[in-house]
Amino acid sequence: MHALDVLGDPVRRRILELLAEGERSSGEVSSVVRAEFGISQPAVSQHLRVLREAGFASVRAEGTRRLYAVEAAPLREVDRWLDRFRGFWEQRLDALGTELARGKRQRRLDQERGGGSGTDAEI
């Protein structure tokens, strides 16, 4: 299964978000995902299996518990793939940053001249 196919599912993305916060037991993951998505425990287990088989998550046994963690390698592959597209949004974010700085500088100059109250309501 291709990495983007794995990440295309909102349940699997949510599971990865949970695991990004730190290692979690299958029960913890299942509890959160079941509450948020209204799916069964077996369905959550299937999503965990897909993540594991695709290399996005690893599992280790600790007594009777199964602890899941994120694996970085597939995410680095996705990041490398996305790299060719970053220019599309980075230029726009840079331009936005420039405009925000320009507006902030103008408000400061207006305040120094006594020409404005300096509140964000003037924006």
Q: Tens of pLDDT along 57-109?
A: 999 999 999 999 999 999 998 888 888 887 776 666 666 778 788 888 888 88
What confidence score (pLDDT) does residue 16 get? 96
Cα–Cα distance, 102 to 92 (Å, whole number): 15
pLDDT at 87: 75
In 18-43, which positions are buried (b, 16+ CB within 10 angstroms) versus exposed (e)?
Answer: bbeeeebebeebbebbeeeeeeeeee
Question: What are the Cα distances from residue 122, in Å, to 40, 107, 119?
Answer: 51, 9, 6
pLDDT band, very low/low/confident/very high, at 115 (cuts 50, 70, 90): low
Diameter over CA atoms, the chain: 70
Answer yes or no: pTM beyond 0.85. no
